[in-house]
Amino acid sequence: MTRMTTLFAILCRKALSCLVVGFISVSSLNVHAADYTGPLFDAHLHYNTEAWNGKTGPHPVPDVLARMQRSGVKAIVSNSRPNDGTIALALARAETAAAGVAVVPFVRLYRNRADYNSWFRDETIFDMVLAELARGTPVGPYRGIGEFHLYDNANANGAVAKKLMVLAEEKQLVVLAHVDDAAIDLLMANTPTQGQKLRLIWAHTGIGGTPIKRVEELMAKYPGLVGELSYRPGLTCDAGSLCPEWRALMLKYPERFLIGSDTWINQRWQSYEDTMRGYRVWLGDLPPAVAKKIAWDNGAALFGIN
């Protein structure tokens, strides 16, 4: 707003009449009708052992479900280190039904923290994924794999990473990947269709600040690429409103974005409702139909939730 106002002030030195035009233009950028109030699909949720290890912990199942309910979250992509956390949520069928929350289970690739740095070449991880897929969950089959991280994008070509991308495309499992833009290309290239059929949720849509033009280019290149927006630098501007270039990209690709909590540490559980409230603010900057797609419809369509 400040930069725009300065720009118009400079332009208007030469013609007084443009002051009025400038004022109208700047104001229209900041229209915020109302916060989005509809349902939310949390497409990036962890229920890790620190939150609740099945016995004790600060955030047992009733606690996390109450947070979702108070936030208007009606469905979650759940994954956890180890996978027991997701199983615990899936087992609590009466509680999740009472809270109105649908659980979409993903197989996480991490049994422990050490696995973050070696999963892409560790055959025992591949075996673990196959065993989990065969076992399934109390709410049905796993629907995806991840979240996984690649701190060095070259590891997208690790033997196990390659096999998992082929498996995901063949079994129609959705991938949840915390990677950079170069790794998106590498992961996609490792599927039988060069990524044309892989459905990949890009956790944070470039947490390192991938330029928006590059995000747009990847969206155009891969029809199954969907951007999840937690922690995305540059997404919001003044008072939590949506930055104009992101708004433009969402209007161009309304079906390709999701929101998520990323409860990777317990503090994220403690601020869960604030996180969701923050989404509701910038979703309110979009046309209502687009806001609802990003908040709910896109996740619901991806996993066939009503």
Of residues 29-58, which lie at the interface with Zn ion (CB under 5 A)? none
Taking CB under 5 A as the binding criterion, the range among 65-73, 77-85, 114-122, 254-262 that sits at the site for Zn ion is: 254-262
Instruction: Decide if residue 262 touches Zn ion (CB under 5 A).
Output: yes
268 or 292: CB nearest Zn ion: 268
Of residues 129-158, those binding Zn ion (CB under 5 A): 147
Helix (H) / strand (E) containing 134: helix 123-135
Q: Which stretch binds Zn ion (CB under 5 A): 23-31, 91-99, 241-249, 260-268?
A: 260-268
Pick the closer one to Zn ion by CB: 90 or 203: 203
- Please state the closest distance from residue 132 (CB atom) to Zn ion, in A: 18
Min dist CB 280 to Zn ion, Å, is 21
Helix (H) / strand (E) containing 290: helix 288-292
Q: How far is the CB of 46 from Zn ion (least distance, A)?
A: 6
- Total count of residues recorded for the chain: 306
Q: Which two tokens stand for residue 119?
A: 């999963």
CB of 225 to Zn ion, least distance (A): 17
The residue (of 106 and 282) whose beta carbon lies closer to Zn ion is: 106
* Choice between 237 and 264, CB closer to Zn ion: 264
Distance CA 163, CA 176 (A): 15
Stretch that binds Zn ion, among 152-160, 163-171, 259-267, 276-284 (CB under 5 A): 259-267
Distance CA 55, CA 187 (A): 37
User: Least distance to Zn ion from the beta carbon of 250, Å?
Assistant: 21
Q: List CB contacts of 17: < 8 A, sequence separation 6 or more.
A: none
CA distances from 113 to 65, 84, 89, 109, 202 (A): 25, 15, 21, 10, 21
Least distance to Zn ion, CB of residue 268, Å: 9
Draw the binding track, 160-189, toward Zn ion (x: CB under 5 A; -: no contact).
------------------------------
Q: Which is nearer to Zn ion, 132 or 262 (CB)?
A: 262
Q: Quick check: helix, strand or coil at residue 73?
A: strand
CA 182/CA 170 separation, integer angstroms: 23
Question: Residue 228, interface with Zn ion (CB under 5 A)?
Answer: no
Nearest residue to Zn ion by CB is 262
Q: State which residue, 177 or 286, has the beta carbon closest to Zn ion.
A: 177
Rounded to an integer, what distance in angstroms lies between the CA atom of residue 255 and that of residue 98?
A: 29
**What are the CA-CA distances from residue 6 to residues 21, 31, 97, 239 (Å)?**
14, 19, 53, 19
Phi, psi of 162 (to 5 degrees): -60, -45
| Residue 230 CB, nearest approach to Zn ion (Å) | 8
Identity of residue 194: Q
Which tokens sit at 143? 């629907």
Quote the DSSP letter at residue 16: T
Q: Which is nearer to Zn ion, 147 or 297 (CB)?
A: 147
The number of beta carbons lying within 10 Å of the beta carbon of residue 64 is 27
Query: Shortest Cβ distance from residue 147 to Zn ion (Å)?
Result: 5
The reply to whether 285 sits near Zn ion by the rule CB under 5 A is no
Return residues touching Zn ion (CB under 5 A): 147, 262, 264
